[in-house]
Structure 1
Amino acid sequence: MNELNEEIIITKRGRPIAKIVPIIKKQENEKPVLGGLKHLVVKMGDVISPIDDEWEANLD
């Protein structure tokens, strides 16, 4: 089944109840989903601590 990449539908009394599909292996050059964009992230330092700048909206 894997060589032909065919699906098999299992029926009960003529009604489909399950489908068996082949597992497609990852290609060697395929990047993982998690961590695939990690080269685009730039560390900016501490982003949790409050900043000391006054905001224009707070002046009113």
Structure 2
Amino acid sequence: MENSKKKPDKKHNSKISKKDIRKKIVKNFKKLSWHYWAVFIGVKVIILILAIITFYLFYKRFLR
């Protein structure tokens, strides 16, 4: 159902759909940019902390 609906839209209204998608992305990014950046930075920080802890524990075990 989804594929059959999406294919004719791309063929008939390729320019309009692309412009609408770009406008929607810009609007959503402007509205939720702070939220997305906060989540993105938070995830990066958590991954960095976990990586440092795991490396530290592995290094301690490796030295012993």
Query: Normalising to structure 1: TM-score of the pair?
Result: 0.31
- If each structure's strand is expressed as a fraction of its own residues, which one has the higher value? 1
Q: Relative contact order (alpha carbons < 8 A, sep ≥ 6): 1 or 2 greater?
A: 1
Of structures 1 and 2, the larger Rg is shown by 1
After TM superposition, the score normalised by the length of structure 2 is 0.30
More helix by share: 2
